[in-house]
Amino acid sequence: MIRATRRTTGMIVLAGVMTMGFQVGVKADFATPIIPREAFFGNPDKASVQISPDGKRISYLAPVNGVLNVWVGPAHDPSAAKPVTKDTKRGIRGYFWAKNPGYILYVQDKGGDENWHVYSTDLATNKTLDLTPISGVQARVQEVSPDFPDEILVAINERDKRWHDIYRVNIRTGVKSLIQQNDEFTGFLTEDDMKIHFGVKMTQDGGSEIHRLTGANSWTLFAKIGQEDVMTTNPIGLDESGKNLFMIDSRDRNTAALISYGLESGQSRILAKDNQADIAGVFAHPTRKIIQAVQSNYTRRRWQVLDPSIEGDFKYLETVSDGEFNVTSRTHDDRLWTVAYVLDQGPVRYYLYNRDKNEAKFLFTNRKALEKAKLAKMHPIVIKSRDGLNLVSYLTLPVGTDHDGNGRPDKAMPMVLFVHGGPWARDTWGYNPYHQWLANRGYAVLSVNYRGSTGFGKDFINASTFEWAGKMHDDLIDAVAWTIKEGIADKDRIGIMGGSYGGYATLVGLTFTPDVFACGVDIVGPSSIITLMEAIPPYWKPILEMFTKKVGDHRTEEGRKFLASRSPITHVDKIRKPLLIGQGANDPRVKQAEADQIVAAMKKHNIPVIYVLYPDEGHGFRRPPNSMSFNAVTEAFLGKYLGGRVEPMSEDIGNSSITIPAGSQLIPGLPAKLLEANKDQS
């Protein structure tokens, strides 16, 4: 989320006041050159490659004056591509081709507020139109259809911030018309006919119901999903006949399978399953409603081909490059595919695959600076929790520290436990900029799929119920204990770091287990579960019952007492190790108050803390200058308390919006200008 100098951290307590001290040890030999942070966290050279529906043009994201924009060029000559969008602020992170090949669509917010607008760019004029020019409203693209190339369905919460109504929008003019007012559904299943077929709504018991639209605003209950299956069961689409519904479904089983349900016959059929992992993605024909392959992921991605017509394509693509491949786009006639290969020791490799010729042409990588860099291998490992669960984890060791290649360093070393957010998400194998950056600086890096992580079946998710700061944290501690036992981590030099839930886990680590970690880096993590839940965005309120049934209920006296006991803010006086906090001022999920209140509590207890705040960021740091500046501070912080190598931060800091409301004087190597600008806040 390199051991030029070895340091042993010591915490000195004087009259109840903690100071952050360290001792300089012996210089260690480390042959791998420092890779600049820019190579890991700056803009990619080219990314998100896609082919137009008619196969005539190719597109990708690339920077224009340091800001990511969409570039388009002829499919036979991507080097001739030109920028077609004109974003000058945060950069475009996600885009796609409209079914009309003359238009590009993308979404963008302002300053990380997640009030997404949908934009349409006319490639004939390079003019961009805001299709949802409404302040303070969140828009989501609901459907694009080859049968209606000039129109899309967009979900907008203008009328009621809690619910997204469905509109039909013309991508040329922006004219929209309401097709479904919504006062109860968290989401809809729509199809190429641009009509709503199913709606999903949450129930008071934390489960959900799937309703079928059977008439003019007339809904019939199709399926009831219990709380135990709600996170692993969803409808995904209809087949060509419209008589069969495809679902990812975990009912009556542990791992979610791909199942076809006959809407008239009432019969069901399992199309694909994996007894170790959920079916997590489907590969469907671009125009026909055929699911041709599915993927699941236990320790590595697995493909299951269901359609014999693409079996030869997949077998060929497996031979083209190392790593794991994913098809990122397809033409309407299905003759051309763009394919991305993810590796653990190199940048993403993009290819244009011609099915007629059975030939994949290499295009470029997403980060040229990493093509010849000495990157570290990522090892998938399975660690047993104290109560017997399998914790699929990923370990990265610095280059040159594991001479026999067995996934164990030659001697115990400093380690960073990098905890994923969510918590209903997961870590995967492949290139990870945080793993590679930290390994390059001299740290072993471990990421753990603790209970509650997705993809491993509903039992694994449900084992996390009411276990924030409980067994979920025990899993992390068990994994750390395993690394110490295996001779991987030096028990006195282990840091914990993560974003969102990973930031919360960092705060839990320093408050609930204050002697395990030498330091912590909390990125947009909640300090109180109660205030987190009280301040959720209005469009999250429909899923509140599910949240309270999984985490705890802040609306009852007993629930508040329980959640307070699991909140780091309650135990702030136990913090004895150095802490760095990063926050975006516009975060709609974990609001700035979460960082402010724990910083204030630490100051009240005379506990030093470094607090870095970005006025133009939300839930995480998307602008590359901001990301690099925070990581520069993090690198100096970890170098001081864990002993890794440090690249000077002056160049990273310059173009960011960084402010430091607390602890600027505690950051080693902070440029004098920035130190002076923030000294009054500290």
Tokens of 363: 């295009």
Is residue 309 annotated as a catalytic residue, yes or no?
no
**Could you confirm whether 420 is annotated as catalytic?**
no
CA distance 221 to 497: 44
- Out of 329, 393, 453, 500, pick the active-site residue: 500
Q: Any residues with CB less than 8 A from the CB of 187 and at least 6 apart, and which?
A: 199, 200
**490: enclosing H helix or E strand:** strand 489-499
**Which one is catalytic: 117, 197, 435, 619?**
619
126: left (phi over 0), alpha (psi -120 to 50) or beta: left
Spatial distance between the Cα atoms of 645 and 440, rounded to a whole number of angstroms:
8
Number of H helices, E strands in the chain: 13, 38
Contact 103, 82 (CB under 8 A): no
Residue found by looking up tokens 């870590």 in the block = 427
Q: Rounded distance, CA 595 to CA 580, Å?
A: 11
Q: Tokens 């199913």 correspond to what residue?
A: 198
CA 372, CA 393: separation in Å to the nearest integer? 27
DSSP code, position 404: T
Q: With the C-alpha atoms ordered 489, 491, 497, 498, is the resulting torsion angle positive or negative?
A: positive
Q: Crossing angle for the helix pair 433-440 and 624-642, nearest 10 degrees?
A: 40
Closest CA to 165 of 196, 193, 207: 196
Instruction: Give helix 501-512 / helix 471-485 axis angle, nearest 10°.
Output: 70
Closest by Cα among 321, 371, 323 to 347: 371
Indicate the residue type of 543: I
- DSSP assignment letter at 568: G
Three-state secondary-structure class, residue 392: strand
Cα three-residue angle 9-12-17, rounded to 5 degrees:
135
Catalytic residue among 587, 627, 629, 664: 587
Cα distance from N-terminal residue to C-terminal residue, the chain: 26
Indicate if 500 belongs to the active site.
yes
| Phi and psi angles of residue 491, each rounded to the nearest 5 degrees, phi first | -60, -20
Q: Are 103 and 121 in contact (CB under 8 A)?
A: yes
The dihedral over CA atoms of 546, 1, 366, 87, expressed in degrees to the nearest 10, equals 70
Write the secondary structure of 153-197 as one string of H (helix), E (strand) and C (coil).
EEEEEEEECCEEEEEEEECCCCCEEEEECCCCCCEEEECCCCCEE
Q: Whats the size of the chain, residue-wise?
A: 682
- Tell me the backbone φ, ψ of residue 304, rounded to 5 degrees: -120, 120
Give the angle subtended at the CA of 162 by the CAs of 595 and 143, to the nearest 5°: 110
Enumerate the active-site residues.
500, 587, 619
